[in-house]
Structure 1
Amino acid sequence: MTVEIETPPGGRQQKVQAAEVGVGILKALAELAPATSLTRLAEHVGMPASKVHRYLQALIASGFAEQDSVTHHYGLGREALYVGLAAVGHLDVLKITAPHLATLRDELNETCFLAVWGNKGPTVVYVEPSSGAVTLVTHIGSVLPLLGSSTGLVFHTFLNARETAELHDQESVGLTAMQRQEIEQHVRDIRSTGVHQIHGLLMAGVNAVSSPVFTVGNKLAGVITMVGSASVFTDTVQADAAQRLRATAQVISARMGADAGLFGA
């Protein structure tokens, strides 16, 4: 990354400082994801907007950042996502899950994805999009609601409450007593069956099924989800998909060292 810095040319120290600033801006883009204005970004890193802008131009040129042509907001670019995926790639859950999701997608032609728990909540790290005329794609790096998505509710069910407490408290604000009871019922169903089916919870007209993936010690490693349009992902199709997804999650979990038969037939 080449950036014009304010300090006079003087060798290695300036280059190191420039790299540190660039990394700091990349981290800020991640913290303010999915997109942010130049003003907000500059405030976040405590730097003049003009200086941040110069670094952003270099990051955009190298593919590590991008600017929305409509909103003019900035976000992480494709190269940054590749680096992030390379870091996540060492996780067994991604390596083991990917081929199984590809097979499932090929069999049912519905979009499948894997989410892991990130610093902002359920985060999509791998997607196998359907090849139909209408493709429902959850983007890599997307952060899903904890209580407002099928994927999130599975995390809510099996993760330690301390890990989800902050996000749970944020999303619980304004919920009615009935809505809280519905969430509790979802948790009971997920815990007993190992799969969750939902109709239009996150997005109207989009149905989803999710199932947990466990690792050694029966610890939650991630959640696999299949999504489809309600027009084709009908009750019958979704019920079949739920059973296949659950079976796939069990195969992945066993491969990762979890106990067999975590859920009854």
Structure 2
Amino acid sequence: MQEFSSEDNAPRRKKVQSAEVGTDILKGLAELAPATSLTRLAEHLAMPASKVHRYLQALIASGFAEQDSTTNHYALGREALFVGLAALGRLDVVKIATPQLAALRDELNETCFLAVWGNKGPTVVHVEQAVRAVTLVTQVGSVLPLLTSSTGLVFQAFMPERETRALRDEEVSALPHLLATDLEQQAAAIRTQGLHAVHGLLLPGVNALSAPLFKAGGELCGVITMVGSATGFNADPAGAAAQAIIASAREISQRLGGLRI
């Protein structure tokens, strides 16, 4: 039997250690999202900044990290997003919601999408585009604002405050006209109706309806949204489209074991 010395295994151990360090850095970028400085990342990981910088350059070259040329801050790259979305695709909510969204799109011929809560906020993970000459392009991977989109406002209404506080405070600082009491009243109304409608809030001329999805235990696990041009889609909270999206959300939640709809 051929024997191998510890020296023979050294290259393999080094590769494993390198992979572990690279993984730790990716996790650090996710935990400090949306972006972070090299100094903060190194402190967070308890690693020398020179070592973190060396690994970041390799991650940038492979597309798993990126650096803002203006701030020099680092963030997860497109390849990391691709891997994350692939993992999200295995979630029950995506599997169950996908055919429901397709049916909803076919019924009303408006673009429908599913968003889940990601490390940067409400993140689009599946889109069913309307079948028409002109469609509203909603990209998989898009991150929506918390307070200026119907999708985000539904997350704001149903998620625990500890999960949304940092993003909410960041957006409120850029929207000084928003009052905490207004947000609380709006959230209460969304929880009562199980639906939120907006008219041109995120994009002028674009209306939207959003409804929450719940899994077992009544925990929010996603939001489905229908968007359309204001010229043909008025997003009436009492209209047929609203009733259709509520029915779809109820069906998805029931299949997920949700108890709140």
TM-score range, shorter chain: 0.7 to 0.9
Deviations 1:100-130 (Å, cap 9, x if unpaired)?
A: 0111122222221111222332222222222
Give the share of equivalent positions with the same residue, in percent: 55
SS in 1 for 2:217: helix
Structure 1 unmatched runs, 5+:
1-9
Deviations 1:125-160 (Å, cap 9, x if unpaired)?
A: 222222333332332232222221111111111122
Task: Kindly state the Cα deviation for residue 77 of structure 1 after the two structures are TM-superposed.
Answer: 3.0
Task: Kindly state the Cα deviation for residue 28 of structure 1 after the two structures are TM-superposed.
Answer: 6.1
Which range moved further: 99-108 or 131-140? Answer: 131-140
Structure 2 unmatched runs, 5+:
1-9, 43-48, 69-73
Is the CA contact 1:65–1:74 (under 8 Å) kept in the aligned structure 2?
yes
Change (3 A) 1:235 1:209: closer
Q: Among 56, 59, 62, which residue is 2:60 paired with? A: 56
How large is the RMSD of aligned CA atoms in angstroms?
A: 3.5
Deviations 1:44-94 (Å, cap 9, x if unpaired)?
A: 56348676444433x14xxx56899xxxx986335x444223322342211
Is the CA contact 2:33–2:120 (under 8 Å) kept in the aligned structure 1?
no
The corresponding residue for 1:224 is: 224
Deviations 1:193-216 (Å, cap 9, x if unpaired)?
A: 211110111122221110011122
Is the CA contact 2:105–2:112 (under 8 Å) kept in the aligned structure 1?
yes
SS in 1 for 2:213: strand
Aligned length: 242
Which range moved further: 136-145 or 196-205? Answer: 136-145
Is the CA contact 1:26–1:76 (under 8 Å) kept in the aligned structure 2?
no
The corresponding residue for 1:4 is: none
Is the CA contact 1:218–1:258 (under 8 Å) kept in the aligned structure 2?
yes
Change (3 A) 1:181 1:205: farther
The corresponding residue for 1:77 is: 78
Q: Which amino acid aligns with 1:56?
A: I
The corresponding residue for 1:194 is: 194
Which range moved further: 183-192 or 144-153? Answer: 183-192
Q: Which amino acid aligns with 2:227?
A: V
SS in 1 for 2:239: helix
The corresponding residue for 1:241 is: 241
Change (3 A) 1:42 1:205: farther
Instruction: Note if 1:88 corresponds to 2:88.
Output: yes
Is the CA contact 1:147–1:171 (under 8 Å) kept in the aligned structure 2?
yes
Deviations 1:171-203 (Å, cap 9, x if unpaired)?
A: 223655675554344323312221111011112
The corresponding residue for 2:209 is: 209
Is the CA contact 1:42–1:52 (under 8 Å) kept in the aligned structure 2?
no
Mapped partners of 2:137, 2:39: distance in 1: 31
Task: Kindly state the Cα deviation for residue 17 of structure 1 after the two structures are TM-superposed.
Answer: 3.7
Task: Kindly state the Cα deviation for residue 224 of structure 1 after the two structures are TM-superposed.
Answer: 0.6
Mapped partners of 2:237, 2:161: distance in 1: 33
TM-score (norm 1): 0.73
Mapped partners of 1:185, 1:169: distance in 2: 17
Is the CA contact 2:56–2:65 (under 8 Å) kept in the aligned structure 1?
no
Mapped partners of 1:209, 1:112: distance in 2: 9
Mapped partners of 1:219, 1:17: distance in 2: 37
Mapped partners of 1:212, 1:187: distance in 2: 12
Mapped partners of 1:207, 1:148: distance in 2: 12
Deviations 1:210-243 (Å, cap 9, x if unpaired)?
A: 0011122222121111112223323569933222
Is the CA contact 1:112–1:227 (under 8 Å) kept in the aligned structure 2?
yes
Change (3 A) 1:35 1:174: closer
Change (3 A) 1:219 1:74: closer
Change (3 A) 1:51 1:220: closer
